[in-house]
Amino acid sequence: MKKTFLLTFGILVPLFSNSFDASTVNIRKLENTDGENYKQITVALLTCNPEMCIRSIQEQEQSLNRQCKKFSISKYETIYGAFLEDTIIGIVGGGVPQPDCCEQKHIVEICILFVLPKYRNQGIGTRLLESFIEDVKTKGITRIVFPFINVNSYSLQKVLAKMNFEQGVSFSKWIKEQDGTWCDRSLFRCDVSTR
């Protein structure tokens, strides 16, 4: 398979130039040795969504380099990646927001759900979420929440609806973008104890 690369933040992010069979995508849990994969997909996410950068590009790159070197996943976090051959093309991850709070130990918050645009609408996001949900259910989690800003993302709303997430609270004018426009934020939730 011929590979092309996107140069961003001084990092070469591999992209595939050919079509592919989505069934060949491997979904697996990320491990502490996956720092470079985490960095690659995070760079791709920030490149596709520059409004998510809260720091300068240089600061963001330095932060990612530090995270990559000491990448570790705590017992309160769950992260899955979608891989095409050896290249990460999607990710879902989250954790217990307040692990020391007895009332919140059954809730997981998704912090990241992203599939490279070229690979969307082929079931990869759904497969990532399915793996994530099955994993957290084994840990006694009964509810998953997912706060996200881009409520106009049709692809994401389609995946969340398919996985029985319901839109809960919405916040108007949650974050101001660089061009001065305001974005809303919505909280989606899914009770996994009934799945």
182-191/166-176 β-pairing: antiparallel
Q: pLDDT tens for residues 46-64?
A: 777 766 656 666 677 777 7
DSSP letter string, the chain:
--EEEEEETTEEEEEE-S---GGGPEEEE--TT-HHHHHHHHHHHHHH-GGG--S-HHHHHHHHHHHHHT----TTEEEEEEEETTEEEEEEEEE-S-TT-GGGTTEEEEEEEEE-GGG-SSSHHHHHHHHHHHHHHTTT--EEEEEES-TT-HHHHHHHHHTT-EEEEEEEEEEE-TTS-EEEEEEEEEEGGG-
Q: How far apart are CA 146 and CA 153, in angstroms?
A: 14
More confident residue, 8 or 178: 178
* Structural domain span for residue 76: 3-194
Number of folded domains that form the chain: 1
**pTM for the whole thing?**
0.76
Q: Which residue, among 192, 178, 183, 101, has the nearest Cα to 146 in the 3D structure?
A: 192
Q: Is pLDDT at 38 greater than 80 in this prediction?
A: yes
Q: What is the CATH number of the domain that holds 9?
A: 3.40.630.30
**Highest mean pLDDT range out of 10-19, 71-80, 150-159, 177-186?**
71-80
Residue 30 tokens read as 């990320």
Per cent of the chain over pLDDT 90 is: 21
| pLDDT on residue 7 | 45
Indicate the burial class of 79 (C-beta count within 10 angstroms; 0-12, 13-18, 19 or more).
Answer: buried
Residue 42 tokens read as 């995070």
| pLDDT on residue 95 | 87
Q: How confident is the model at residue 25 (pLDDT cuts 50, 70, 90)?
A: very high
More confident residue, 31 or 104: 31
Q: How confident is the model at residue 44 (pLDDT cuts 50, 70, 90)?
A: confident
CA 44 vs. chain centroid, Å, equals: 11
